[in-house]
Amino acid sequence: MVQADMMPPGGEGLPPVLVLVGPTASGKTSLSIELAQRFPLEIVNLDASQLYAGMDIGTAKPTAEERGEVPHHLFDVSTPDRPLNAGAYAELADGVIAEVLSRDRWPLLVGGTGLYARALLFGLARIPEVPSGIRDAINARIQRDGTAAVHARLAEVDPVTARRIPRGDTQRISRALEVFEATGIPISRYQDEHRFAAPRYRYLKLCVSWPRTVLRQRIVDRVPRMFEAGFVREVEGLLSAGYPPGLRTFKALGYREVIDHLAGCSSLPECIERVTTRHLQYAKRQETWFSGETDSVRLEAPFGPAARASVEGFLGRGHVHVQ
């Protein structure tokens, strides 16, 4: 990762944005509010699961009080039965960014979904459309043979992608394999070629980082608080509202585990333990993703001073007033 005193990436003349990323439970929300209270910033959601109304506690969405302190955008823009992908997110974010800049303010995108950040800043790799018949055949194979067998097939044809995708990530395994079946080209090759795409924005990307043992403890402490705040009631409400338990959006951290608990598959302590494990696994994947990005300013606790200096330096290039 780059140092805080280096020039931010992106071409001159492009619309400017600030990006704050990092693993779950790393303190992005509180830092973003602190920055938005000091600088002329408006917060734009960069978390895939926080796009959906009703999914609040489980996604650690900023509270109504927090959102009332500074302007927030792109929260609750869809419902769980209307899933959005990275391309749709980028289109929505483009519109919000243009609006914020038109007010002589600056957008601060905050979240932990690395793919969405990449899609916004660089666009998506141009991958040909996959015929529905191929997708259906792969889904049928997963149902018949199991995810592990399909992951093994992916490892044969695209070992690079197979190493990146956990064995239990059915959606990404299916997507990678269907691209190969449809085109004969591994999805990793499309993605590698896209790495050289020109940026769509001039940007400063800040990445929050904790020592692994500290982040682990933050997660272990945080998950029980989510249940105390009503995570189970939240999921009960979503199911009572008619949303089917098999929705793709319910693959968000913890929701599937709580659904299983409500179905009698686990006790509450077992459920909390499983959700904690999911969070720890996800944080590890996020750290791997963000550590591989060379265009970020790494922030280590305490974050405030370095974050403020980096933001002030970036905004100073636009001659904006700092409060």
**What six digits make up the tokens of 105?**
């303010």
Reported as a pLDDT band with limits 50, 70 and 90, residue 320 is very low
Is the predicted pLDDT of residue 175 greater than 50, yes or no? yes
* 3-class DSSP state of 234: helix
| Residue pLDDT, tens place only, 94-147 | 999 999 999 999 999 999 999 999 999 999 877 778 888 898 899 899 889 988
Structure-token pair, residue 233: 């009631």
pTM score, whole prediction: 0.83
Position 205 pLDDT exceeds 90 = yes
Give the pLDDT band (50/70/90) at residue 258: very high
CB 153 within 8 A of CB 182: no
Q: pLDDT grade, residue 196 (50/70/90)?
A: low
**CA distance linking residue 233 with residue 256, whole number of Å:** 14
The fraction of the chain above a pLDDT of 70, given in percent, is 93
Report the pLDDT averaged over residues 259-282.
Answer: 97
What pLDDT is recorded for position 172?
84
Across the range 154-158, mean pLDDT stands at 92
pLDDT of residue 2: 38
The answer, yes or no, to whether residue 87 has pLDDT greater than 60, is yes
d(CA 19, CA 32): 10
Domains of the chain with CATH codes = 16-122+200-316 (3.40.50.300), 132-194 (1.10.20.140)
**Is the separation of the CB atoms in 42 and 76 below 8 Å?**
no
| pLDDT tens-digit readout, 208-240 | 999 999 999 999 999 999 999 999 999 999 999
Rounded Cα–Cα distance for residues 107 and 98 (Å): 9
pLDDT of residue 5: 38
Task: Give the integer Cα–Cα distance in Å for 9 and 310.
Answer: 13
The mean of the pLDDT values for the chain is: 90
CA 283 to centroid of chain Cα atoms: 11
For the chain, the first-to-last Cα distance in angstroms comes to: 28
Question: Which of these, 52, 80, 77, lies nearest to 244 by C-alpha position?
Answer: 80
pLDDT at position 230: 98
Helix axes 28-38, 303-316, angle to 10 degrees: 50
- Tell me the pLDDT band of 294, cut-offs 50, 70 and 90: confident
207 in the Ramachandran plot: left (φ > 0), alpha (ψ -120 to 50) or beta? beta
